[in-house]
Homo-oligomer: A and B are copies of this chain.
Amino acid sequence: MSKEITSRAEDYSQWYNDLVLKGGLADYSAVRGCMVIKPYGFALWENMRDQLDRMFKETGHVNAYFPLFIPKSFLSKEAAHVEGFAKECAVVTHYRLKNDPNGGGVVVDPEAKLEEELIVRPTSETIIWNTYKDWIQSYRDLPILVNQWANVVRWEMRTRLFLRTAEFLWQEGHTAHATREEAITETRKMLDVYAEFVEEYMAVPVIRGVKSESERFAGAEDTYCIEALMQDGKALQAGTSHFLGQNFAKAFDVKFLTKENKLEYVWATSWGVSTRLIGALVMAHSDDQGLILPPKIAPLQVVVVPIYKGDEQKALITEKVNGIMQALKKMGISVKYDDSDNSRPGWKFAEYEMKGVPVRIAIGARDLENNVVEIARRDTKEKTSVSMEGLPEYVKNLLDEIQQNMFNKAKAYRDSHITKVDDWAGFERLLDEKGGFLAAHWDGTAETEEAIKEKTKATIRCIPLGNEAEEGKCILTGKPSTQRVLFARAY
């Protein structure tokens, strides 16, 4: 099995695929557009999921589970929603196979046709709001703060591992509120939770903003988002939080009795992040030697590799390492001792570099004598000889430092790739030559947004929260504008 990785400079897209496949995160599957998440990739997702789940629960949310299938008619109940999701969905039409009377294996049994087709959920607003109708009668039943961890399916034509797959894993929060203000507060709160998670755990800086009308979720009044920047200068939407107004309450007739005894429609939000985040993580940090994973969510934080000749040396080293392992584990650090005889230390070094393990400890016979180990950090590749005295504390601090350094580095790159631009030629040139976010004036119309997208493939990623008012002229049409918005090419 070749472990060679295409370099970013050579072919960024191939580099990404190489990392995902050879780093052991995911595999292609026999089903078009669907991936297999391999154990190492899934362990990473578990760490991300568990942390997000803690943050959801700390903010008062509970989990529940709703059906995989959505009756076709439900999709149509919200006009914008059906437009957005009908074009890329998996449709269940039958409920049985039978033996082919002509001997061709099994075939669909035409007698087992469903009266109404079922859609494999692309998102669950419709089935959930149909359920909330039964759960909500009075203001006492509100708010409902529910989240669901689930798989969803969108029949994308062009797929890429993690970034865009037909089936993906995600969480979708669906909350119900008595007032518009409360729903908007919830929408913004969850955006902040996402931003905190992506920055503090994934070490990826994000810009919080609101989407333009044409980039809004199908059925939302406002879509808030966090936008991250990848190393190739393209943006990636890392999470969205939607203020749905009363759209779904009206579509599914969900009303509640207020304290004042009036019947009113319920206010809604929904918010989600997905396994796509893993794609963002890979592209934000990794290098030409492999993955670089932030310590806070890395499946394995430390690997220890012994360097020995003969069983006697190995035994001495192993004895020492056992003590180190125990001490590290006691501090809550995940650590693996790779003493397998199947491969040489050099091969192991390359393997754990590929897998992005934050800290590697190597220990040989001479190290034993000197009571030191060699520590290599994955992010900077620096190697240091460190005394075994106080090693656990050293490693703990180093993990914190790596986490912080990864964030700082990504942030420095991101900050140096937000460019104000006021002329069209410059706009096009910057997109091609530098990439990143271009802060430019826009006349506020969907037509101009679409025209810019057609010409350059750049879209409005967001109007940043707390954006400064500034008089200016639209980068394309020259019409008056009151603020800059962020354009970028995006995943």
A residues apposed to B, CB below 8 Å: 27, 29-31, 34-39, 41-43, 45-46, 62-76, 82, 86-99, 105-106, 108, 117-120, 127, 130-131, 134, 140, 146, 150-151, 153, 155, 167, 169, 342
Contact = CB atoms under 8 A, between A and B. Distances in A.
Given A37-B65, A72-B105, 14 more contacts: A29-B131, A36-B66, A42-B62, A65-B169, A67-B167, A68-B151, A75-B106, A86-B97, A86-B99, A89-B97, A90-B94, A91-B93, A91-B95, A91-B96
Nearest to A76: B105
15 contacts: A29-B127, A34-B69, A37-B64, A38-B64, A41-B64, A45-B65, A46-B63, A68-B167, A72-B105, A86-B96, A88-B96, A91-B92, A91-B95, A95-B155, A97-B119
A134 B86 contact: no
A304 B367 CA distance: 59
A92 B95 contact: no
Nearest to A146: B39
A42 B27 contact: no
A16 to B, nearest CB: 20
B69 A167 contact: yes
A91 B42 CA distance: 27
A448 to B, nearest CB: 28
Could you tell me the dominant secondary structure of chain A's interface residues?
mixed
Nearest to A85: B97
A27 B66 CA distance: 10
A88 B98 CA distance: 10
A397 to B, nearest CB: 28
A99 to B, nearest CB: 8
A442 B141 CA distance: 56
A447 B46 CA distance: 48
Nearest to A152: B68
A186 to B, nearest CB: 17
Given A42-B63, A62-B39, A106-B76, A71 B120 contact: no
B108 A67 contact: no
Contacts of A91: 92-97, 108
A86 B106 contact: yes
A39 B63 contact: yes
Contacts of A89: 95-97
Nearest to A115: B32
Given A63-B42, A120-B92, A106 B72 contact: yes
